[in-house]
Amino acid sequence: MSYAELYRIEGDRVVCTACARYCRLKDGQVGLCGVRKNAGGRLVLMVYGRIIASHVDPIEKKPLVHFWPGSSVLSIATTGCNWLCRYCQNFDISQRRKIEGVEVTPEEVVEAALRVEANGVTYTYNEPTIFMEFARDVGIMARSRGLFNTFVSNGYMTPESVRVAAQFLDAITVDFKGNGNPEFLRKYAGVPGPEPIYETLLELRRAGIHVEVTDLVVPEVGVGDRLEDARKLARWIADNLGPDTPLHFLRFHPDYMMSDVPPTPVETLERHRNAALEEGLRYAYVGNVPGHRYEDTYCPGCGRPVIRRRGFDVIEWNLDEDNRCKFCGHPIPIVGKHLEKGDRFFHVPMR
């Protein structure tokens, strides 16, 4: 347990400023996330240094496909979450409201990442915004040891939390659910609406953090797989984040309280992906369908596959040393280079 920093005092309430819910907490109350508590007029982060899950993952699993392809990360999580997704595949930790986990220091997390020869640390499995202060302490130390930092996030952040993230974060996957449809978010994720996510994306881009967007396409609920919503999302990304921003359409798998909903038809994902290109994006992907041709990166110049993937593995690399297409020379916006297993690198200077 440690005191948090992302909060302000309003009368007899502590207002948490980590996420866009801005929970107003009386003494003794805990935020919806289950990990941030008003303790005597100060906000406490009850999961500081309490890791409930850790695993070594390929960066492509996040999914980040334009950021140090082929690299590996040490993924860590705490309990709790600021969303209430009825389909969450990590519900056993994200919806757990009992503080549990192994006690670790930031130094121990970084040493563990170096020991398993990871290239970075990823904060994932639950929403990392809710343990931002701990992530910040790990992240700054990780950078000092040549490791990068990435988030897998729902993007329901605040300008205050983005400013903290900018101190250490290198890349982020922001996951829209159901194309960001407000009705879907209210009914299936317990979120008032998507507006704070759009503002977060703008703040992240202004901070110079590499951004990739995912969209979990949930079928047969009426509001989770509308093609017009996918077009609207893609158009917004192209206009506001730029046409080179990767957008991933992810296949839904039944889980938790939506185990009766079937997986997303692959044809739906393909239509969404093609619509995103029509709306101005240059890089759109189909995810959670291993072996699909739209896992690959295609050159906007000549249309040929420049990075071929199967699942989380890079199986063909057709870019030169400057990340230009080997066939036509078109530049491909990849951060870093392709790392083979065991490759190490030194982090670029901090922004």
Query: Binding site for [4Fe-4S] cluster: which residues?
Result: 81, 85, 88
| Cβ contacts of 222 within 8 Å, gap of 6 or more | none
Q: Are 200 and 234 in contact (CB under 8 A)?
A: no
Q: Residues forming the annotated binding site? A: 81, 85, 88
Signed CA dihedral, 117, 119, 121, 126: sign only: negative
SS3 183: helix
**Among 108, 49, 107, which Cα is nearest to 79's?**
49
Structure tokens at 37: 């508590």
CA distance 327 to 54: 40
CA distance 83 to 74: 23
**Among 325, 245, 307, 305, which Cα is nearest to 277's?**
245
Burial class, 227, CB count within 10 angstroms (exposed 0-12 / middle 13-18 / buried 19+): middle
